């Protein structure tokens, strides 16, 4: 019988370097011969990508925002994540439910108990096997964003928002040390890759 694949999520405030390092980790895992599905949230399915457009660009009530990220997630799990894990593929997702706690909870101030309720409804059984948190001071993240791209509705938020999001990520990492690996993302890309090499090697060894 095929063993279930591993579910790995990447988290961090905008500009922490997730996208940069996901590609690197995806290549390492795929090179080992494991089938790998690389995806993102909000999004990951045709409907989820439409919801992503709304979430990132339309002003809306805070609870509408939370419901939409979980609606996108519900579809993502049903259409892509669960089928992939069940057939033995590994799934890497650029963000998952920790981002809802950090952004809707920490950043926007939605009661965490409401996010817990949605998480328990949408994926009572599913939790990442590993979450890599790219942790970076706000000014470093902001400088990287300003240098590179047009900012969406979240990226235009003020420092307080990102400080609260970062703190919520760190709080969650401290509460679940077995699931999280926290990377100091103010280091150089090469230094971070050395840490990622060790994390991925340990994961692949565990699955062998």
Ligand X SMILES: Cc1cn([C@H]2C[C@H](O)[C@@H](COP(=O)(O)OP(=O)(O)O)O2)c(=O)[nH]c1=O
Please enumerate, by residue number, every residue annotated as part of a binding site for ATP: 12-19
Which of 5, 2, 73 has the alpha carbon at shortest distance from 39?
Answer: 73
Q: How many residues bind ligand ADP (CB under 6 A)?
A: 15
State which of residues 18, 73, 166, 172 lies at the interface with ligand ADP (CB under 6 A): 18
Q: Compare residues 12 and 48 and give the one whose CB is closer to ligand ADP.
A: 12
42 binds, among ligand ADP, ligand X, none (CB under 5 to 8 A by kind): ligand X
Query: Helix, strand or coil for residue 134?
Result: strand
Residues 158 and 133: their CA atoms lie apart, in Å, by 21
Residues in 168-197 at the binding interface with ligand ADP, rule: CB under 6 A: 185, 187-189, 192
38 touches, from ligand ADP, ligand X, none (C-beta below 5 to 8 Å by class): none
Question: Which residue has the CB atom at the shortest distance from ligand ADP?
Answer: 17
CB of 116 to ligand ADP, least distance (A): 25
**Which residues make beta-bridge pairs with 38?**
92
- Residue 161 in contact with residue 138, Cβ under 8 Å? no
Residue whose CB is less far from ligand ADP, 5 or 72: 72
CB of 151 to ligand ADP, least distance (A): 11
3-class DSSP state of 57: helix
| DSSP helix/strand/coil, 164 | helix
| Residue closer to ligand X (CB basis): 104 or 185 | 104
**Part in contact with ligand ADP (CB under 6 A); list of ranges 9-17, 85-93, 163-171, 194-202:** 9-17
Q: Where does the chain have alpha helices with state H?
A: 18-31, 46-57, 62-76, 82-86, 97-99, 112-122, 138-148, 159-175, 189-207
Toward ligand X, which CB reaches closer, 94 or 135?
94
The answer to whether residue 16 forms part of the interface with ligand ADP (CB under 6 A) is yes
Sort strands 180-184 and 90-94 into parallel, antiparallel or unpaired.
Answer: unpaired
List interacting residues with ligand X (CB under 6 A). Answer: 14, 19, 40-42, 56, 69, 94-95, 99-100, 103-104, 152, 154-155
The total of other beta-carbon atoms located within 10 Å of residue 75's CB is 21
Say if CB 73 and CB 43 are below 8 A apart. Answer: no
Which residues would be at the binding site for ligand ADP (CB under 6 A)?
Answer: 12, 14-20, 144, 148, 185, 187-189, 192
């Amino acid at each position: 019988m095929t063993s279930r694949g591993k579910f790995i999520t990447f988290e961090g405030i905008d500009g922490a370097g997730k996208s940069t390092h996901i590609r690197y980790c995806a290549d390492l895992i795929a090179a080992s011969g494991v089938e790998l599905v690389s995806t993102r949230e909000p999004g990951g399915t045709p409907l989820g990508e439409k919801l992503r457009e709304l979430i990132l660009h339309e002003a809306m009530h805070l609870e509408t925002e939370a419901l939409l990220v979980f609606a996108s997630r519900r579809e993502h799990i049903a259409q892509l994540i669960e089928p992939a894990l069940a057939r033995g593929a590994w799934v890497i997702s650029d963000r998952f439910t920790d981002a809802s706690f950090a952004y809707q909870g920490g950043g926007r101030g939605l009661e965490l108990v409401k996010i817990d309720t949605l998480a328990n409804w949408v994926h009572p059984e599913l939790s990442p096997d590993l979450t890599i948190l790219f942790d970076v001071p706000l000014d470093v993240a902001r400088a990287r964003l300003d240098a590179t791209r047009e900012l969406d509705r979240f990226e235009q938020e003020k420092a307080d928002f990102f400080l609260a999001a970062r703190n919520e990520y760190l709080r969650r990492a401290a509460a679940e040390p077995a699931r999280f690996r926290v990377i100091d993302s103010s280091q150089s890309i090469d230094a971070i890759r050395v840490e990622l090499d060790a994390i991925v090697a340990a994961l692949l060894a565990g699955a062998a």
